[in-house]
Chain A
């Protein structure tokens, strides 16, 4: 069965420090992986995706994510956090060998403190 886990409900980081939001997944075939961000009272916005190729994917707002097949992980990272990065972050996966739709993680609230 397909699944996505975001093990942390909340992550707290000081402004200027690096941040990591964790995501692990389980699919039977090869995965499509996505990260989305949701600001308060807004819809979800696409940040980045991994389909194939380079394991390090760069996305919007200076975010990047590293695909690790052996650990079935797709952690979201940023070298230097901004207060404006504070938001809810969702990881999602889709099995590219099936017609299943996206499976969503529960979301991780990221709080960046000045």
Chain B
């Protein structure tokens, strides 16, 4: 299995631009998570899906952030408009079963200038 695949690995953009991060979970996994990692805040859960349905988006910072999962093999996290404080590494992770461990992608490092 190829694991969780994220793209792009690196993104540099200017404040006000739209950013779209992509994730392909492991086939057969029915939970998908989006995390953000910064030095200041550590690892933060933004949103998670179960069977393509958003279950908890209470971690989404504000309305500038949105996430979709149109099918079982694809999810996007969009930031519009982006701000410098959004600079972070964004991770996608997937799992199956309530007791199952999370499998993380390699992350998308976002820099907003």
Q: Which residues of A contact B (CB under 8 A)?
A: 32, 34, 36, 41-46, 49, 51, 90, 96, 101-102, 104, 106-107
Q: How large is the interface on B (under 10, 10 to 19, 20 to 34, 35 or more residues)?
A: 10 to 19
Partner of A107, one of B42, B48, B104, B109: B42
Partner of A44, one of B98, B99, B102: B102
For A43, the chain B residues whose CB sits under 8 A away are: 4, 91, 93, 104-107
In contact, B104 and A104 (Cβ under 8 angstroms) = no
For B105, the chain A residues whose CB sits under 8 A away are: 43
In contact, B42 and A34 (Cβ under 8 angstroms) = no
Q: How far is the CB of B13 from chain A (nearest CB, A)?
A: 19
Q: A101-B48, A101-B56 are in contact. Are A46 and B101 (CB under 8 A)?
A: yes
Q: A43-B91, A43-B107 are in contact. Are A90 and B43 (CB under 8 A)?
A: yes
Q: How far is the CB of A18 from chain B (nearest CB, A)?
A: 25
In contact, B45 and A101 (Cβ under 8 angstroms) = yes
For A49, the chain B residues whose CB sits under 8 A away are: 99, 101
In contact, A45 and B104 (Cβ under 8 angstroms) = yes
